[in-house]
Amino acid sequence: MHKAATAVVTVLLLPPTGAAAATRSLDGGGNNARHPEWGQAGTQYLRVAAPNYADGVSAMVAGPPARRVSNRIFNDVGQNLFSERGLSQWTWAWGQFMDHDFGLRNEAPAENAPIAFDAHDQLEDFSDDLGVIDFARTPAAPGTGVRSPRQQLNTQSSFIDASNVYGVSGPRLDWLRDGAKLMLPDGYLPRADARGNAGAAPGMDLFGAQVGDPGRAAEAGDVRANENIALTAVHTLFAREHNRIVSALKAFRALTAEDRFQIARRVVGAELEFITYQEFLPSLDVTLAPYRGYQPTANAGLGDEFATAGYRAHSMIHGEFEPTVSARRYSPDELAAFRAQGVTVEQDGNKVTLVIPLVLAFGNPDLLEAVGLGPILKSLAAEPQYKNDEQIDNSLRSVLFQIPKPGVPDPGVCGSPVIQPDCFTDVSDLGAIDIARGRDHGMPSYNDLRRAYGLAPKSSFAAVTGEATETFPAGLDIDDPHSLEFVDLRDRDGNAVAPGADGAVVGVRRSTLAARLKALYGSVDKLDAFVGIVAERHVPGSELGELQRAIFKRQFEALRDGDRFFYLNDPELATIKRRYGICFRHTLADVIRMNTGAAVQDDVFTASG
């Protein structure tokens, strides 16, 4: 049964339990009775600090060219450094999934502000036929940017409410639903053509080769679900989880299809909160103030500084996925098809490992289905993620969402283990875009942002990075490619790692990060907030620097304290467990096992491999 959805729905839990049984609205509106717009989709991001525009209103501040900064600060020269605490790829994958639950800037076209590309830069390895890196500003929120400082809209509900699974509008959810369940043909997300008319399907962002075949895009509650196969896999996992709960409720005949749908939606939302607060944040060593119940004076809206600077941990994203399965799982024809796409197939006895470069994972739900949901989710738990630092893999830093140019004889050489510049004709640099987005949204300088979060400003670049010097060695300068060479690599036990090998968590270059930052910015007071955040030395025992940790703490406390339906404040969850035996207190490992049968370790946020 295909049943229409509405923006605000109410579930009856036999018998009705009054106001406590009210469900979340799809768009987050009405969560706070006195301020129903708090946290609602389509409202402005909040500000912790005053916006920083060149003219005080809207113009982007100047600074060193973003790609120039990227080539000297974010460039990992093909040497990957891994999480010093052994966190798995699930950490970045979950962080991205949550990001897509509570935040999405207005993506409508606005002013073009292309990022300069200097083909003659001594540190430039890539070519760009366009001559610039495409970038467009976020539209100004209505009534801002002319006589008052420019603000931006968050088009998502800011609550952790599984809006990435269900969407924030009735029409999107209506399309995704199949009665009490979500539509999942063969256990995977529906494609845009699943109902016959791809043009009538909810709009989705398209990535890579999908631009030429939009009808085969996977559909989900959030428009970005096709971005990479890990993200698509997590969307699929929680759509399956919804349907698992609905099936478990089938024995209760007095429940209508709408009742079963809304119970499952409530439980899935609570599971996302439970995993985020009980597993994800502790894995990063983010400690929150004790929970004291719902605070109606707490605004759970998303902070612009959090969304634009503090939560952009793109350096964590691994450049490969390596699912390992029984050699019997794939036929010879399937293995040949993987190789033809550029996947490396490694066979070892009764096991086979697929080495999937990230560049093949962009906009590729077909690849997810070919590999299988369980193997992909298990692979995220097996391998460590990259270190949360200033280095960004070239899959993101140079060829984001790009596909190899026509005529490349073997696409397998393009993305693994090191991106080959000759395979691509255009440059799209996520690190440079992060810098530009900060200037677009009027982010304060790094030191001003520290002040806004109650932290003392840093007096030098060496104080930011924790290094001993911000002076270049004799004979080196900011434009010398040798300045980026690694001279010492160490694993978690302090053992030396050979250049180019995996396992290093610490790397020392010929020049310090502080020296390169000083050469680019001159004064620490001019440092872009995003660049300062990723350059900070980590707090001991944490995966985050001092400022990023403070930003996380403030935002996740607000998301918790200002949410009337937070899992520790929602008595209906206990009613659901008592009456129907449905519990939300599942670890991420539990959810993976129940919906895929994959054998994963209990703590999937710590790598098993």
SS3 content of the chain, % helix, strand, coil (to 5): 40, 10, 50
Residue at 41: amino acid letter: A
**Residue 129: which residues within 8 A CB-CB, separation 6 or more?**
425, 426
**Blockwise average pLDDT, block size 10, the chain, 609 residues:** 34 36 92 97 98 98 98 95 96 98 94 96 94 97 97 98 98 98 98 96 93 93 97 98 98 97 98 98 97 98 98 92 96 96 93 94 96 98 96 92 76 72 89 98 98 98 98 97 97 95 95 98 98 97 96 98 98 97 98 98 94
Reported as type and span, the H/E element at residue 348 is strand 344-348
Distances (CA, A) of 95 to 89, 277, 428, 522: 10, 12, 22, 33
**Residue 9: per-residue pLDDT:** 32
**Residue 77: which residues within 8 A CB-CB, separation 6 or more?**
484, 485, 486
How far apart CA 95 and CA 287 sit, in angstroms, is 16
How far apart CA 22 and CA 262 sit, in angstroms, is 10
CA 592-595-596 angle, 5° bins: 75
Total-model pTM: 0.94
Q: Where are the alpha helices (DSSP H) in 3-65?
A: none
Q: What sign results for the dihedral spanned by CA atoms 213, 219, 224, 227?
A: negative
Distance of CA 579 to the CA centre of its chain: 36
